[in-house]
Amino acid sequence: MKLLDRVLAKKLPDDLTLPVFEAGSKATRAASADVLSALASQVPELWGGSADLAGSNNTTMKGEPSFLPADRTTDEWPGGPYGRTLHFGVREHGMGGIVNGINVGGLSRAYGGTFFVFADYMRPPVRLAALSHVPSIFVWTHDSIGVGEDGPTHQPIEHLAAYRAIPGLAIVRPSDANETAIAWREILKLTDQPAGLILTRQNTRVVDRTSGEFASAEGLAKGAYVLKEASAAPQVILIGTGSEVEVALDAQTALEAEGVPTRVVSMPCQEWFDAQPEAYRNEVLPPEVTARVSVEAGIAQGWAKYVGCKGRSVSIEHYGASGKGTVLFKEFGLTSDAVVAAAKESLEA
């Protein structure tokens, strides 16, 4: 298919190739940077940038010059009128409006990035994108208390719940690098829905999906999937998003050691999961398994529909603090021990 025909059809290349990440440890924002650079040559209609945080958001496609007037380029800022790197300045609200305008008015696809805590500055254009069915892409990094020493002003707490509350907006919070790659592909497939891609500052575990122990990251396309199955019929289900999926996996190991068959579900996008057929939703979250625990570094609002009346949520219901992210997770109870304790409570409920 010729480029113009493909773009007019709002389709991705049939031979689109995404990075595959080996087991290890990598921040999802860093994985996103690798994915964007891989997409650059394959999806030439894609362009975007950040609200003066490109170095932290990792929103610059490698080697792509800046979008600048020809007479404003410099050795430090090479570019021109056909550059693909946008510099929005310190103005999230304006960035959101610009991204929406590009995605409404032309054949190209634009994205804009900032810290997740600053997404509140751009809530009106995000809401307008959802209301208008505009497939804008918002890249929101530094997604939790894992930000660390910047302190509570920079640590999202209520934001996941607040943005999930916007009808028509997909909030996608991948757990590792390979989920991040699939997330970009699925978001680019959207033609009438905006998406917020929620990414970590800190490294997260990249699970080994080649051994058969963990399911393929392709499951992200359905919003939630069984990442790691229980040793027998599950007695408890642990549901995590983003960096907390690793916490759920550690809790699973502890519960299985105590003889409690435990399933781990990765749920990167509630909206996409809710759109799946009931049969699939019941396959992932069997109604008969009422012992459930959600774990997410944000408020618990919105999780009751998945954990049910006997379930529990391991969350953070207050603002953060300045300190190392690893210390804050421990101090605020976002640990595998807390998930194990919550699972036992749920089993006894």
Active site residues: 92
Length of the chain: 349
Half-sphere exposure of 140 (CA within 13 A, CB side): 30
Burial label for 215, CB within 10 Å (0-12, 13-18, 19+), is middle
Q: Which residues contact 111 (CB under 8 A, 6 or more apart)?
A: 46, 47, 48, 49, 59, 99, 136, 137, 138, 139
**How far does Cα 189 stand from its chain's mean position?**
16
Contact predicate 55/36, CB 8 Å: no
Q: Which residues contact 281 (CB under 8 A, 6 or more apart)?
A: 273, 274
Neighbours of 281 (CB within 10 A): 18
Half-sphere exposure of 315 (CA within 13 A, CB side): 22
| 3-class secondary-structure state, position 84 | coil
Contact predicate 158/202, CB 8 Å: no
What DSSP assignment string belongs to 256-296? HHTT--EEEEE-S-HHHHHTS-HHHHHHHS-TT---EEEE-
* Paired sense of beta strands 203-206 and 195-198, if any: unpaired
Q: Comparing C-alpha atoms, which of 60, 62, 122 is closest to residue 90?
A: 122
CA-based R_g, the chain, Å? 20
Nearest-5° angle of CA 222, CA 227, CA 231?
A: 135
